Chains A and B, each alone.
Chain A
Amino acid sequence: MATASAAPSTPTEDHRSPESHAPAIPVATARPEAPRPSGLVYLGLVGLAVLAFIFFWATRDSGSVLLIPLGFVTLWAPLYPVIGLAVMLLTLALCFKAKVGTMGAFGVLAFIIMSYWAGSTVNFTLLEIPSRWSNVEPRLMAFLDPNWSYIWTVRDQWLITMSMAVVATLVGCAIGLVLAMFASPVSSPNKGVSQAIKAVNSVVRSIPDVGWALLFVAFIGGTAHGLGPMAGVLALLMFNIGIVAKLLSETIDSVNPGPVEAADAAGANLTQRNRLAILPQVLPGFVSYGLYVFELNIRASAALGIVGVGGIGSAMMLQLNRFAFENVAAILIALIVVVLLVDMFSMYIRRKLL
């Protein structure tokens, strides 16, 4: 972490301006020392570590206790929070020794606190793996011995999945392009529109794909009503709009301003300007985002089968609920092959187009 802090060193080469600098004394050859970080802020960080320790203590759910005999009295403390505190203090001491700046030390401390919190929330432990390995073994065996004859029986489902991915990608990219044009301050009519579209887009983006799928399945009915593909396409559509609009509006932000200014100077209106000065510049990026999103869609539609959108995912969940792992394994292997093929195909197109 403390790597590049070798202090912006400009010791030599400054002889021409002796007024502004100290005269060139032997210091010029020595490597400049990093400034000593503020001890007071470090004390504050120690306080933060102690606060975190109290929080960990209050929310612990493991009963392990550390006993600290002091001779006259035996202190006790929960084991894992104490380990956490020790790690935090040790890290702070190391940072202070290495003259890490206060912001860097705060970053490291926040990282440790976050990791401890996350680890204790998910009950992180690897100790149970050996004892539970017997649960996994039969499944892994089934996965290693797939039912090859099953692969061809679900080709209709594959067709539906691919079609869903194509429709969602094309429509999603088209809508995403329009939204991105409105969202980027470079190409949108005014600041208010761009802020509003950005806000809408970040709401769309923050609902995960499975959330959209559940919503649309609830709105119009899932596979049970024969409407799975429709719900799936709509869910993938929202998912794609979020991604494409975000990535593309960032691309538009960093577009070369030359053609835009030229279009403005020639008296183009907004549509003409966007069509002729901005679109050609972002088109390569747009195509590659589209291919990327297509790849995501195939993977996502396999996953969204869980919640009852149509396609290969539904077939997979059906087999999974029957504990027919050989069939699931066959579907998975086909999925891996399809995704790899799509990956290669999109790499080919990208190379061809860009």
Chain B
Amino acid sequence: MNKRPINAGPGSASRPEHQQPAQNSEPGQPRFAPDALDRRPVRPSRLGYNAGMLAVGIIFIAAIYGTGMDARALLDLPASIIRYGQLMAAGVFQIPDETVAGYWSQSFDAMFESVAIAWVGTMVGALFSLPLGFMAARNMSPLPVYVVVRFILSVIRAVPEIIFAIAIMLPLFGFGSGGGGALAGAMALGISSIGTLSKLISEAIEAVDGGPLESSRASGSNHLQLIRWAVLPQVMPEVIAIWLYRFEVNIRASAILGVLGAGGIGSLLSTVFGARDWDRIGIVLVVIILVTMVVDQISAFIRHRVIHGPTVRHGGGEPQEDDGGAPGPGPGPASQAGTSVEKDPAPKSTRAAAGL
């Protein structure tokens, strides 16, 4: 019945029968006449793309001139990297005698102090960020509250943490490692964490599954009960992941506050760089890398565990004994028991926090 040539061109399969021009033509004529649907698609204009690329290129070249960089400095760079790198390596790999062992332990102490600063800062931020996150979520709070809280959060996010440190915290708590500088750094980190944390948490809350919300509204729960039973169990894994990310970020951020006098690894860094003591610089850098990587690994493990729940054995389908109190296995994992969970990356909104 259907005598259309096989190679009728794109679009022929979807063409309605009654439109076929071959229906009323005599046998000699080709049964197929191309129509608009059979044309090859026109390549879309790349004018906008090219103009954008050109603009980026112009801005780039203008920016290179704008910085007033001296490119000749780059020529010396490899030589100085090798020279100072050798000095640093010599410092790291020398057999530790009394003084060198002292350098190592001093570096570790300073780094641990940085970790402590970051932890306290994250706790302060976490304390405020959960309520503020709820206030900044459109589906949880009325419009006026939402607008005001969002504005405050974006102002907090715009201010770098050194400003909180300089303006408020350092004069308030004092300088130096022992003299309250660490606390000042922690508080500055905490205040400046609030902005990012609340924003990410509010995004997690806005992305919550509506089913539990509806069912708890239907069963007559008030606002607090709704949050407690419908929202928190869903967002808590992601919130904990966000907090952990911020902890990692804060460890790095505490270094810059340390240079200002807030203790921790930053103070040590500015001391050893000030003295240009390359042995100690190498040791401090190695300690920073070691501790940061270990902390990152631990926090990645916890994050994975919190988001995906405990690893479930194949076949049985029964949760392991220690399943009980792990903070809510979250929306998904119960249903995907037995499947591999390794490939799932962290949720998108938490990934955005990784860098800052």
A interface residues, Cβ below 8 angstroms from B: 1-5, 8, 34-35, 37-38, 95, 98-105, 107-108, 114-115, 117-119, 121-125, 128-129, 132-133, 135-136, 139-140, 143, 159-160, 162-164, 166-167, 170, 202-203, 205-211, 214, 217-221, 226-227, 229-230, 232-234, 242-243, 246-247, 250-251, 253-254, 292-293, 296, 299-300, 302-304, 306-307, 310, 320, 328, 332, 335-336, 339-340, 343
Contacts and interface: CB of A to CB of B under 8 A. Distances in A.
Interface in B311-356: 319, 321-330, 334, 343-346, 351-352, 354-356
Given A107-B327, A125-B183, A167-B67, 12 more contacts: A4-B328, A104-B325, A119-B116, A122-B185, A202-B293, A206-B292, A207-B285, A209-B255, A230-B71, A254-B344, A296-B355, A343-B158
Interface stretch (B7-15, B203-211, B269-277): B269-277
B117 A122 contact: yes
Nearest to A320: B166
A234 B66 CA distance: 15
A70 B353 CA distance: 53
Contacts of B76: 220
B98 interface: no
B66 to A, nearest CB: 3
A103 B123 contact: no
B324 A100 contact: yes
B259 interface: yes
B290 to A, nearest CB: 8
Contacts of A119: 116, 120
Nearest to B334: A8
A206 B64 contact: no
B160 A140 contact: no
Interface in B87-117: 112-113, 115-117
B131 interface: no
Contact of B182 (A122, A135, A226, A229): A122
B77 interface: yes
B322 A101 contact: yes
Interface in B42-73: 56, 59-60, 62-71, 73
A1 B232 CA distance: 10
B120 A211 contact: no
Contact of B163 (A103, A115, A226, A332): A332
A34 B322 CA distance: 11
A237 B335 CA distance: 43
Nearest to A117: B116
A210 B266 contact: yes
13 contacts: A37-B321, A95-B325, A104-B324, A119-B120, A122-B183, A128-B180, A163-B62, A214-B269, A218-B281, A246-B355, A253-B343, A302-B160, A336-B159
A349 B335 CA distance: 38
A172 B263 CA distance: 30
Contacts of A310: 67-68
A4 B326 CA distance: 9
A170 B321 contact: no
B41 to A, nearest CB: 17
A99 B322 CA distance: 11
Given A140-B167, A218-B276, A340-B158, A243 B67 contact: no
A203 B263 CA distance: 23
Contacts of B351: 247, 250-251
Nearest to B255: A208
B197 to A, nearest CB: 16
B135 interface: no
Contacts of A209: 252, 255-256
Interface stretch (B30-38, B138-146, B170-178): B170-178
B218 interface: no
Contact of A121 (B116, B155, B173): B116
Given A103-B322, A219-B84, A306-B260, A166 B73 contact: no
A121 B73 contact: no
A205 B296 CA distance: 10
B149 interface: no
Nearest to B117: A122
A230 B154 contact: no
Most buried by B among A136, A226, A242, A251: A136
A233 B69 contact: yes
B73 to A, nearest CB: 4
Given A207-B289, A221-B73, A299-B160, A162 B296 contact: no
Nearest to B168: A136
B66 A160 contact: yes
Given A2-B325, A118-B120, A210-B256, A335 B160 contact: yes
B256 A306 contact: yes
Contacts of A133: 172
B162 interface: yes
B289 A136 contact: no
Most buried by B among A124, A242, A328: A124
B69 A210 contact: no
A218 B84 contact: yes
B289 A206 contact: yes
Contacts of A251: 351
B66 A35 contact: no
Nearest to A199: B293
Contact of B325 (A103, A117, A128): A103
A226 to B, nearest CB: 7
A31 to B, nearest CB: 14
Contacts of A4: 233, 236, 327-330
A105 B344 CA distance: 26
B172 A136 contact: yes
Contact of B123 (A115, A167, A202): A115
